[in-house]
Amino acid sequence: DHGGAVEFIHCPHLDDPTTPLIDLEVLVAGTHASNTRCTFGCDSPEQWACLQCGGVHCGRYVQKHSLEHHLTNPNHMTAASLADLSVHCYKCSGYVEHPRLEPILARLRALKFAV
C-alpha cells in the first residue's frame, strides 16, 4: 500500500452464503464508534471491526492486531475501518465490496454519524 487511490475488488469469499457475517445487533455505539480503542488497548485512529465477530483491533500500520486476529482465526477474514468504513479482506489481500456488506456498512454509518 503506497497511498493514493485504492481499487476495490469483489470479494469471492462472500459469494459463499455460509461465510459468516456479524449480526447487526452486535454492532453498538459504545463499541463500534470511530473513537473506539483496540481490544488490546492501542490508542490509534486506525481501528478495524472484525465483520465475523465484532472485535475491534488496530490496523496493520499500528500494532497489527487486526491482522493477528485473522491469523489466529482464519475464518475471520473481513474487517471494516471505523475511520472511513472501507472493508479489507485478508484472504483477498485488498479492499473489497460485496452486496452482503451493505447492511453492515449502513449500520456502521448510522453509528458513526448518529443517524
pLDDT at 37: 80
- The vertex-91 CA angle with 27 and 84, nearest 5°, equals 45
* Domain residue limits, the chain: 9-113
Distance of CA 90 to the CA centre of its chain: 10
Buried b (16+ CB within 10 A) or exposed e, 13-26: ebeeeebeebeeee
Residues 39-76 have pLDDT tens digits of: 888 878 889 999 999 999 999 888 999 999 999 999 99
pLDDT above 70 for 106: yes
Cell of 68: 493477528
Which residues, in sequence order, are CB contacts of 23 under 8 Å at separation 6+?
Answer: none
Share of the chain above pLDDT 90, in %: 63
pLDDT at 113: 84
Tell me the fold of 9-113: Herpes Virus-1 (3.30.40)
